[in-house]
Amino acid sequence: MPTFGALEVGPVAARLPRMRDLDTEAWELPKAEIVQLSWEVGPGTQALLPKGMHPAIPAYASLWVIRYPESPVGAFALALLRLMGRAGAHPRGFVLGGIASSEAAATALREQWGLPVAAGQVTFRRSHDRVAVGATRDGAPVLEAALVDPDVISGGDVQYIHSVTLARAPLDGAEAPRLIQVDSHYTFHKAERGRPRCARLDADAFNAPGLVLAHPIAGSVTTCDTDLPRIRFVMDPDVWVVRSTKRIR
């Protein structure tokens, strides 16, 4: 018997990003540096995942911290927390929350891709034995993590799972909460693998009350050319995505 998420959309509808439309133009984002850190998470996370998706078994979360040296709104850094699951047969990362290092970036990410991002500070520091990342919001630290002892690997050994995010978006003359697929592309220039470590995660700051990181899984850091794409698919968060997916283009 399939297992589904249990998120009640009504209580969270007021905080969802509001998209201008679904005709977003793609952003080309060259030479981005991406830290991906993954952990199994404790029980209770099914309530954070939309009812149209299936939870991963075992449940796990992925932290992305990305430094973009170029973008249409200038250089910025981004921290995202995703709860991993499936949309039908396809693995997807449901974006719980995030922090962008500029107000312009946070606004664009919310309005154009429906990402639940607030403005704050995001740090990304390399040293000889680790890549340390962190974030603050309203002056308070909400994230301190690191990729420890990175070793060089092939970019072909790294897999980035596409994201989906929950936002209020207009479609067919009506605005409603919808799942938005964000399926970026990646061309790898450099990749390293290491151990994830987290000293601080304020789950509430990432719209993830009750989420607790448990056992570390894997971590990587890459340099790649990527993008934020035009939106191709939207889904009803309360209906199995196999039945509710609508192709935009």
Query: Distance of alpha carbon 227 from its chain centroid, rounded?
Result: 14
Mean of the per-residue pLDDT values for the chain? Answer: 96
- For the full predicted model, state whether its pTM sits above 0.95: yes
Q: Check residue 2 and give its pLDDT.
A: 82
Q: What is the pLDDT of residues 60-116, one digit of tens each?
A: 999 999 999 999 999 999 999 999 999 999 999 999 999 999 999 999 999 999 999
In this prediction, residue 54 has a pLDDT band, given cuts at 50, 70 and 90, of: very high
User: Percent of the chain beyond pLDDT 90?
Assistant: 95
The residue behind tokens 């799942």 is 179
Catalogue all structural domains in the chain, each as residue range(s) with its CATH number. 9-243 (2.40.400.10)
Report whether pLDDT(196) > 90: yes
Neighbours of 1 (CB within 10 A): 3
Which residues 6+ apart lie within 8 Å of 47 measured at CB? 5, 6, 7, 8, 210
Q: Check residue 21 and give its pLDDT.
A: 96
Decide if 205 contacts 142 (C-beta within 8 A): yes
Task: Report the length, in residues, of the chain.
Answer: 249
Report whether pLDDT(1) > 80: no
Nearest in space to 179 (alpha carbons), one of 225, 122, 248: 248
Q: Check residue 164 and give its pLDDT.
A: 98
Nearest in space to 178 (alpha carbons), one of 241, 107, 88: 241
Which residues 6+ apart lie within 8 Å of 172 measured at CB? none
As a whole number, mean pLDDT of residues 166-176 equals 94
Q: Check residue 242 and give its pLDDT.
A: 86
Report whether pLDDT(246) > 90: yes
As a whole number, mean pLDDT of residues 153-168 equals 96
